Chain A
């Protein structure tokens, strides 16, 4: 498959009064054409910073690339000038944010907000741009789009506003769409509608999506692959099935155990103990070790490399080292693994 975007050994820090915040500490992933890659992980793990660094939307005054590259269309985005970046933003890569209530300009009619990227990136007249904008609004399911072009954001509901933001982001048929928790601020039914819409549109224009979310249910619904982030790193990456049914990293185990599920009738929710690492002074070794009941001595001393589980599945934990002892994952995870052909707990087809 064709790689659209490659993030290689990315390291990024914020220079703050308190010192250097090492927000991204070596992130690697590829994004393939037409796929949806979900990034999950707890608050502060660096999901937003990773994607904002792809768009170069971080404050230039404090954010600093320390290492690595972001390859897109044969170019390294970390090295582009502002002018060159402006030509890519909104055209080749675009973004949807979490809060539709604040992501539209309150004093600009939405029509102008949608035509802005069109007029900016494509050689078309204002009236043509207007037509495209109306089509886009129709595409995202806005009734009577002609009448609504002149209206202001406050005249729309949250769900409608997110549709408008989606229309803006898709205006120039981007190759990559980054959605940073696009449904978190919406209620459940609207959330489902927006997810359906995004899936539909993705098929239509064949864009690749990076989808950030806290909600593993949403991941199962939209994603092809999943990257699990912890403390500024990706700790496990694989297809949805691999992550959900054959997880290898203790942090992924924790995440999955804390996910409410319908088939385990178990009502009690698991919470991963402890707090995320201090990125001002990240711990030596595996950043998750202090919170993990599976931690070994080596975890305190050396950062684990990636171990390959399959062609598509990798995890960074010493547990996968040939010399490591066999450990039992939590019960709920074993239940999951029983359904995965190839895992050591596989019990044949579930039905």
Chain B
């Protein structure tokens, strides 16, 4: 297991280096300048500013400087969005709200999704099943900004149960954005668990469990649930991606001072170092999720536990 994780970490580092390189050059190709009102500056003034951020060095030099900093954990300095602030500090200071709504959304979505999927499978082809399918379709096909706006309007504005936006009331502020983020994992989990449960319920070992005299609920929870749950781990990765991309929009709509909101703004003002830093941060996050998913797989599924990881 240790060897397996070691190998995975090496791959992670390589993947990150590739992502960093790719993003770096992509940034350089894209039009737009991080220097605000660039056209109003005289060429001399402009050169001064560029020199300050090392933007006048030849591209390879810039690249190696950047990668060298990266290895030391230095993501550079914000050019215009947070003038002069350390990118690492900017990201860390904004992690809290993002992590909170992301985690709450994921948890709420997965738990409700699993419940919904289970009920649908156990009550196959009844109205319960059909309604759960409809919820799943809605959750997957309607984008999160639509949910976010609807939640904001109905639960926030009309009913006044939760703050409409901003990050001022602690947990209460996090409720609506979390619900908006939860829709995608909810729908994904519900669909997935339903299919898996139906498949598992028709397998031989379930028939044998029945033949032993197990009751309906024992069959569902002692025998089927765990076996249906294991494959769900494989979609945790895509679900995390969904949460991440969702957060870009949802944080914007609810004006939450998180990483997503800051990332979107940094793109609008072409703050290279913030864009790069956030991209790398997101990549690290996703790669870690995938690694954790694989390790979890090994812990939950005894067939993988002994053979030392899936190849």
Query: Which residues of A approach B to under 8 Å, CB–CB?
Result: 55, 57, 82-83, 86-91, 94-95, 97, 99, 102-108, 116-117, 120-121, 152, 154-155, 165, 168-169
Contacts and interface: CB of A to CB of B under 8 A. Distances in A.
Contacts of A168: 208, 212
Contact of A86 (B205, B214, B303): B214
B189 to A, nearest CB: 19
A97 B204 contact: yes
Interface string B195-207: 0000000011101
A103 B223 contact: no
Contacts of B215: 83, 86
B301 interface: yes
Contacts of A88: 213
Contact of A107 (B209, B210, B216, B301): B301
B302 A154 contact: yes
Interface in B169-215: 203-205, 207-215
A95 B211 contact: yes
A45 B210 CA distance: 24
A97 B207 contact: yes
B28 interface: no
Interface in B279-311: 300-303, 306
A104 B212 contact: no
B228 to A, nearest CB: 10
A106 B302 contact: yes
In this complex, the interface size class of chain B, counting residues with CB under 8 Å from chain A, is: 20 to 34
Contacts of A83: 215
B226 interface: yes
A88 B210 CA distance: 11
Given A107-B301, A154-B302, A120 B208 contact: no
A165 B208 CA distance: 9
B230 interface: yes
Nearest to B226: A107
Contacts of B211: 55, 57, 89-90, 94-95, 169
Contact of A120 (B204, B214, B300, B302): B214
Contacts of A107: 226-227, 230, 300-302
A291 to B, nearest CB: 32
Contacts of A117: 212-213
A116 B214 contact: yes
30 contacts: A55-B211, A57-B210, A57-B211, A83-B215, A86-B214, A89-B210, A89-B211, A90-B214, A94-B212, A95-B208, A95-B211, A97-B204, A99-B204, A102-B204, A102-B205, A103-B204, A103-B207, A104-B208, A105-B208, A105-B223, A105-B227, A106-B205, A106-B227, A106-B303, A107-B227, A107-B301, A107-B302, A108-B223, A116-B214, A169-B211
Contacts of B204: 97, 99, 102-103
Nearest to B301: A107
Given A116-B214, A120-B214, A97 B227 contact: no
B128 to A, nearest CB: 15
Contacts of B203: 102
A254 to B, nearest CB: 31
B213 A91 contact: yes
Contacts of B209: 105, 116
A130 B251 CA distance: 55
A225 B36 CA distance: 95
Given A103-B204, A103-B207, 10 more contacts: A57-B210, A89-B213, A91-B213, A94-B212, A95-B211, A104-B205, A117-B212, A152-B302, A154-B303, A168-B212
B302 to A, nearest CB: 4
A97 B301 contact: no
A82 B207 CA distance: 15
Contacts of B222: 108
Given A99-B204, A102-B204, A107-B302, A90 B212 contact: yes
A11 B303 CA distance: 42
A99 B213 CA distance: 20
Nearest to A101: B204
Contacts of A165: 208
A89 B212 CA distance: 6
Given A90-B213, A116-B214, A120-B213, A103 B227 contact: no
Contacts of B303: 106, 152, 154
Contacts of B230: 107
Contacts of B306: 155
A99 B203 CA distance: 11
Nearest to A89: B213
Contacts of A87: 213
Contacts of A121: 213
A94 B213 CA distance: 9
Contacts of B210: 57, 89
Given A152-B303, A154-B303, A103 B212 contact: no
A107 B226 CA distance: 7
Nearest to A112: B222
Nearest to B205: A105
A87 B214 CA distance: 9
Nearest to A83: B215
Smallest CB-CB A-B distances: 10 pairs? A90-B213, A90-B212, A102-B204, A89-B213, A152-B302, A95-B211, A117-B212, A105-B205, A103-B204, A103-B208
A86 B213 contact: yes
Interface in B212-253: 212-216, 222-223, 226-227, 230
A116 B215 CA distance: 12
A103 B205 contact: yes
Contacts of B226: 107-108
**Which of B207, B213, B215 has the largest number of chain A CB atoms within 10 A?**
B213
A92 to B, nearest CB: 10
A297 to B, nearest CB: 44
